[in-house]
Structure formats: structure tokens, C-alpha cells
Structure 1
Amino acid sequence: MSDPAQYAALRERGPVFRTVIEGLESPVWFVSGYEACKEILHDARFIRDESKLPGREGPSLAEQMLGAVGMPQEYFKYFGLLSTSDGEEHTRLRNVVARAFTARRVAALRPHLEQSAADLYATLAAKGGGDLIMEVGYPFTTAAICDLMGVEEADRPQILGWIMDLVSYNPEQLVPAVKNIVGYYRDLIARRRAEPTDDLVSELVKPGGIHRDLLAEDVIISIFLLLTSTGIAPPAHFLGQAVLTLLTHPGQLAELRARPELLAKRAVPEILRYTTSVPTGGPLYAAGDFEFRGCPVRHGDAVVPSLLGVNHDPARFDGPDRLDLSRDPGPGIGHLAFGSGAHYCTGAALAQVQTEIVIDTFLLRNRTLELAVEPDRLPFFDVPGKGTALGGLPVRL
């Protein structure tokens, strides 16, 4: 579910309620209230690693989702390494991943991103238009994540192709794509161990480094798969959604053009709140029997936070279904699009910068971009366990 209006009726059942999500075997606690969601994300009684629950039987929710798209079990180990860990293990893994997204790295990347966006705009303008997601979003986010990791430019088209196959969710494309990505990173690790360079890959495979306990090849491959799978497709589709949001709110776009100083501090956080790049967060599990906000939570119960739903909670936001680019986000960033607590998205700063640059390049510095089809004709596709995403954005310039 990705339409925030649909959450109004659900929210009448309470900020936390029991339901069944399509594609999953077992019922879950669904969280649609902002404060309840934030509390759960900071509550140590809810854990991410289902395997740590005593007496657990049967496949986890993550394994059910992987099985549903035909993923061979031998590849399960490459998924969910960071999102399904807790405590000290999660902290160690997060520190490794965070090395790709330091403030220094993101700041150093900004000029490259600005030039990349300008080049992509020029290419699209020369054709008179095209698909903003496929022709701008994907190459833009691929360049960003590959720059941060140190993947050679010559290898990027094949990485992009595999990721696009991955998000097709068609087993005939998805499974070979994962095998190819794993094989590519296994080869890249071998090359960097033989001839190190000044990049993240070489840093992680360096013998005797500060993360020597995390240098198992499968762990490193899992980290690289996480960075490419979450750092390319989700932000590419979100960038299209962000542009669509502004094009379908011409009054707000006019205000932003009149007051471009709103872009970083107000407009981008509001767009992230309003449209939310990942509608549903990863599941958490109750580590015991207890009552949470009047709900009788039992040991092993799964809890699924609706990030889009909580970002439209009227108890937290005034007129939550209204886009207001001058809205004061209040303390912090003013939304839960990136989660909260220990599992707060490590790529949040990069996503913020990418969104700023694309909006600035395609809608503020240049003002001829418009939709090439009516909004109700735009394609959307299902993301297993996450909701729906905008599949393409045809535009004219």
C-alpha cells in the first residue's frame, strides 16, 4: 500500500493493529501511528534478527519474501545482513557500511553529482524528453554509489543492468542478476586484495585492518550487495516521485522557484515526508510477551512499521495529506522516511543531497520540464513487502 489516503481508515483501528500483509503467511502488527512507530524503533524489546528468538520455527519473513521471488536458498546469506542484526553485531556492521557515507565522502561527491545531473539534463533536453527514472534516476544514482565504493566506470553499465533485472522481481531475471552481482564482487575483492587502491573496497578487504573480524568474503559481498541494491533502484524511483510530486503541485513548485532557499531545509524534508521513498520498513520481532500501547504483543510477533502511513499521521502533522514546502519540520528532520534509532538509514545524507541536486537542476535552474502523459496513466509496480513504486516518468523539455 503506497497511497497515504488509504491509511486514514486503517488508522481508525489504532496506531498499532493486527493484520495480514499480502504475500506473507503469518499476521503481523502493523504500525500507522507516528509516535508509536518511533517508540518501537527505539524499544530494545523489538529486535531485527528473528533467528535469535528461542523456539523459532519455520522460515522468517525475510526468507518468505526471498522464497516468493524464487531466490535459491544458498543466496539467502547475502541479504539482510545489516537490516536483520542487533546490538553489538549491528553496530560493527553499521560502522563498516557507514564508512561509505561519511560527511567527507558525501561532500566530496557533490560537485560530481551536480555535473552528472547537468549532463543528464542536457542529454534529455537534446532529445526533447524521455523517461526521467530510467534515463536520469538510474544512471545518476549508479554513478553516485559506484563513486563512493570505488567501482570502475567501465563496470558501471553492467552493475546498472543487473540492478534493473533485480528490481524486475521476475525470477527469470532476478536470480541470474544476484548470481552475477555476487560473482562480480567476488572477483573485485580478489583484484583489490592483489592490487589495493584508495577506495572503500580496498579498505574493507585490507588484511589486519580495524574491521579484521568482518573480512569474511561472504560478509563483504553482502555489504556491497546492500550498497548497490539499496543505493541505486530505491533512490532512482524516489527521484522520479519527487519530481512528479512537484509537477502535480504547481502552486508549491512556483513558491519554491520564488524562494529557492527553502530547498534543502524545508522542501526536500517535506517531499520525503509526503511521498516517502520506502513505504514500509523492515519487520521487527517481539523478544517477549508484553503489552505495547494496549496491544497484547506475544513472543515472536512480527511488527511492520508503515513509514508512509506514519508520515501522514494527523496526530503528528497538521494537514498531513497537504504538500507544504514551507512546513517547519520541527526538531530533527521532521519525518521517519529514513527510519529512526539504531537502524536509521546510513545513506540518508546522500539521498538528501541527490534530491536537492535533481530538483535544482531539472525544476529550478531549468523550467521547461513537464509531464508527457496524464498522471493517471503513469506506470506503478509492486515491490514485494514494501508497497508500490513509480515505474516510469515520461517528460518533455
Structure 2
Amino acid sequence: MSEQSEHLVTLTPESISDPSKYPALREQGPLVHASLPGLETPVWLAMGYEDAKDALMDPRFVRDATKLPGQEGPSIADQMIAAYGLPAEYAQYLGIMVLSDGEEHTRLRNLVIRSFTARRVNALRPKLEQVTEELFTALKAKGEADLVGELGYIVAATAICELMGVAAEDQPTVQGFIQGYASGDPEHFIPAIQGIVEYGKALIEKRRAEPSDDLVSALLQDTGEGKLTDTEIIAVFLLLINTGIAPPAHFLSEAVLALLDHPEELAKLRAEPELLSTTAVPELLRFVSAVPMGSPLYATEDLEFKGCPIKAGEVVNASLKGANHDPAEFEDPTRLNISRKLGAGVGHVALGHGPHYCIGASLAKLETEVVLHQLLVKHDGLRLAVARDALQYAPVPGEGTHLTALPVRF
């Protein structure tokens, strides 16, 4: 590695979310030593597509810093919890699967996947189509709307809540918790996580007494070896409700924005709507990369990765957005091309890679197909209600930025 590559680069939320900033970073080498916003511990960023995938698959890296020999001081996850001011009692519900490794991660993931079936996901399509059509009709009658709060959050909340077993009358409350959880504002974040945990406890008791065809009931009925404890089920509920609402809500809105920004691709989609079920959604996931950073990966030993010496306990992060805009993998990566044929596998790392690949990938694809078909294929005329440069973005600790609202007219 060059002396330049060893220099600590300070990244802002804006630079993390801006693909135009990545070429200059890539010039420093396969790994860039960087300081992420809101975090004290510097990280090594894997910027390239293959480099990011290799980091996410390398067993010498772990996500649970407490398993490192001689670990001292707070992990990056602990720093993020401290940044929010979260009471310590709620830490046990955070990080399940996301911050686990090896056999423990495999046990948890297999138990959840066993209940997170393709049948349950596919059965949601009629409900999501109905909800999206009703929302579109109501918003069009109003004439103007915010697609993040008035459509994206509602569609995503409906999907994951129906899957988990949250009653229809409770879904707005749960959605409100997640919006507070995702706000980054401790005044809203702490009551939100308390509300989600208490709701999860009540749902477990209800489904234990009255099982239904939903994921929480299935987890409770699983009596196999290593079955989940109630605390683990609440943690899974929190994880799936959170990752199943906030990121998809923002991705759906940013996918719409990407197509409005590329009218030639929008015209292509309207001319060939079948692209929604083939190449369009994977390309939008790659292009938007709504979650720009992977979870911190801790080196379990002194090692060399991509020619860079890394000491035990140091952190490597897969730059998901950087990887998805790597010119070595994608021709003209900063251009949206909804007929782009991606490489082997899913062809992008927007939803992770390897053992921690997103469990809800099929649900995200279904939601995107339904929303884009309703908003942009079945109907036309959707346009921004404000100037493009007037859109507002909010920073996320340790991450980039997300769109706070997408004001549109119909």
C-alpha cells in the first residue's frame, strides 16, 4: 500500500452517499483508511466490487467485536448505541444476526429462513397491489404527496407487518415506532425502540395463545433443536420490522427519483414493463444502493487483505455503494440502465453478500415491482413538486444520508 492509502480520510455522510466521490478514493488503493461520521474508530473501506465481496466472505473477519481476544473499549455498535443514548437494558434486542458470526449466526438465520418462506412472501402480492392502488388513488385526488412518508413507509410497513403477524389496526402504530427509530433523533428513537420491544412481547403472548399463519407464530411453533428464546424472537421482530420498513421506504422513493432523473429509462420501462420482473429492480438496487455501508468487520488476527496489513481488532467495512459503482465491474456505473444484465448471482451487493445476505431480498423485489408498476407504468404524469436541488437529505450515524421526503405531483 502507498503512503497515500495509509492516510486517514475523513468522510461525511454526503460524500458516502455520492458516487462521484468514489473515483478519487479508489485511486488510493483497494482499501482506504477512513473516519466515518459519528464514529471514533477508523475503518478500512473495501471499495471495489470483488474486494467488498471478498471481505464479506472472509472468515478472518467477524461482526461481534466481543469475541475478539483481549477486546477493550466499546465496539462500533456500542458507539452507535451510545450516540443515541439508548438505555443499556435494550441492548440485548439489538444486533441479532447482524452482529453474530459462525455457528450462532447460522443457527439464528436458519431458524428465521425456515419461517420466512417464499409462499408467505408471494402471498402478499394481492394485498400490496390493493394497498398501493388505494394509496395512489387517494394521493392523486389530493394532487400532491410525499412519497417517502405517505406511500413508501405505508407499503413497506404493510408488507413486513402482514408477514410478521401485526394486526391491521396496529400497523400504523408500529410504522410510527419505526419512523421514530429511523429518525436518528434520541427524543424519538428511545421511546420508539421501547414501544417496539413492548409490542413484540405482547404479540408473542397473543400468538402463543392464538397461533396464525405468520412468521412470529411459526417461530413460536418451531420446537426443533436450538429454537429461539422469547428474547431472540423479540430481537428478530425488531430487526425485521426495522430493516423491513425504513430502508425499503427510502429505497422505493429513491428508485422513483432515479427514474424521474432518467426519463429515457422511464420511457423504456413503460415500453417494456416486463423489465420490472427481470433486470430493472436489480439495476435500481445497484444504482441507488440505499444502504451505502456494510456492517463493521473486525479482524480476528494480524493479517493481510488485498495487500494491506491489518492488525487484529481493526475494522474493515465493505463500501456497498462504492462496490456497486465500481467501473471495473460495471460499464458506465453512474448511469442507470434498467436493461443492464448484471453478473453472476444477484450481480450487486446492495443487499449484502455471503452469509449475511438480506433475508428479505425477495420481499424488497416484490414491493418495488408493485410500487413502480402502479406509480410509473400503470399511470403517468408523476413529477417532482419541488426543484431537484431543493430535496432534503438527513445524515445517518456511521452511514450516508437518506431522502427525508419526496414531494410529487400527479
TM-score bracket, normalised by the shorter chain, equals over 0.9
The residue aligned with 1:192 is 207
Q: 2:147 aligns with which of 86, 111, 132?
A: 132
Q: 2:198 aligns with which of 166, 183, 189?
A: 183
CA deviations over 1:232-266 (Å, ceiling 9, x no partner) = 01100110000000001111111111122222211
The residue aligned with 2:404 is 391
The residue aligned with 1:77 is 92
The residue aligned with 2:35 is 20
The residue aligned with 1:358 is 371
Compute the displacement of 1:100 (Å).
Answer: 4.8
1:310 matched to 2:323:
yes
The residue aligned with 1:210 is 224
Compute the displacement of 1:311 (Å).
Answer: 0.4
Q: Is the 8 A contact 2:148 2:250 kept in 1?
A: yes
SS of alignment partner, residue 19 of structure 1: strand
Q: Is the 8 A contact 1:281 1:305 kept in 2?
A: yes
Q: Is the 8 A contact 2:36 2:399 kept in 1?
A: no
Compute the displacement of 1:101 (Å).
Answer: 3.1
The residue aligned with 1:169 is 184
Q: Is the 8 A contact 1:281 1:386 kept in 2?
A: no
Compute the displacement of 1:152 (Å).
Answer: 0.7
Provide the C-alpha distance between the structure 2 equivalents of 1:307 and 1:264, rounded to a whole number of angstroms.
Answer: 23
Provide the C-alpha distance between the structure 1 equivalents of 2:339 and 2:174, rounded to a whole number of angstroms.
Answer: 38
SS of alignment partner, residue 313 of structure 1: coil
The residue aligned with 1:246 is 259
One-letter amino acid matched to 1:132: L
The residue aligned with 1:160 is 175
One-letter amino acid matched to 1:311: N
Q: Is the 8 A contact 1:32 1:309 kept in 2?
A: yes
Compute the displacement of 1:149 (Å).
Answer: 0.7
Provide the C-alpha distance between the structure 1 equivalents of 2:396 and 2:35, rounded to a whole number of angstroms.
Answer: 16
1:320 matched to 2:333:
yes
The residue aligned with 2:56 is 41
Provide the C-alpha distance between the structure 2 equivalents of 1:100 and 1:14, rounded to a whole number of angstroms.
Answer: 42
CA deviations over 1:292-321 (Å, ceiling 9, x no partner) = 111001111111111011100111111111
One-letter amino acid matched to 1:85: S
The residue aligned with 1:368 is 381
Spell out the pairing of 1:204-353 with structure 2 (5 A cutoff). Answer: 204-206=219-221, 209-210=223-224, 213-353=226-366
One-letter amino acid matched to 1:210: G
Provide the C-alpha distance between the structure 2 equivalents of 1:284 and 1:294, rounded to a whole number of angstroms.
Answer: 17
Provide the C-alpha distance between the structure 2 equivalents of 1:247 and 1:197, rounded to a whole number of angstroms.
Answer: 41
Q: Is the 8 A contact 1:101 1:350 kept in 2?
A: no
SS of alignment partner, residue 248 of structure 2: helix
Provide the C-alpha distance between the structure 1 equivalents of 2:125 and 2:394, rounded to a whole number of angstroms.
Answer: 31
One-letter amino acid matched to 1:288: E
Q: Is the 8 A contact 1:100 1:148 kept in 2?
A: no
Q: 1:65 aligns with which of 55, 62, 80?
A: 80
Q: 2:135 aligns with which of 90, 106, 120?
A: 120
The residue aligned with 1:29 is 44
CA deviations over 1:117-163 (Å, ceiling 9, x no partner) = 11111111111121011110011011100110111111111101111
Q: Is the 8 A contact 1:312 1:320 kept in 2?
A: yes
Out of 141-150 and 331-340, give the one that drifted further: 331-340
Compute the displacement of 1:27 (Å).
Answer: 1.3
One-letter amino acid matched to 1:224: F
SS of alignment partner, residue 357 of structure 1: helix
SS of alignment partner, residue 389 of structure 1: strand
Compute the displacement of 1:225 (Å).
Answer: 0.3
Scaled by the length of structure 1, what TM-score is found? 0.97
Compute the displacement of 1:87 (Å).
Answer: 1.2
One-letter amino acid matched to 1:281: G
Scaled by the length of structure 2, what TM-score is found? 0.94
SS of alignment partner, residue 261 of structure 1: helix
Provide the C-alpha distance between the structure 1 equivalents of 2:242 and 2:173, rounded to a whole number of angstroms.
Answer: 13
One-letter amino acid matched to 2:275: L
CA deviations over 1:321-375 (Å, ceiling 9, x no partner) = 1111121113222111011110000011111111111111100110111111111
Provide the C-alpha distance between the structure 1 equivalents of 2:218 and 2:252, rounded to a whole number of angstroms.
Answer: 30
Q: Please tell me the root mean square deviation across aligned C-alpha atoms, in Å.
A: 1.3
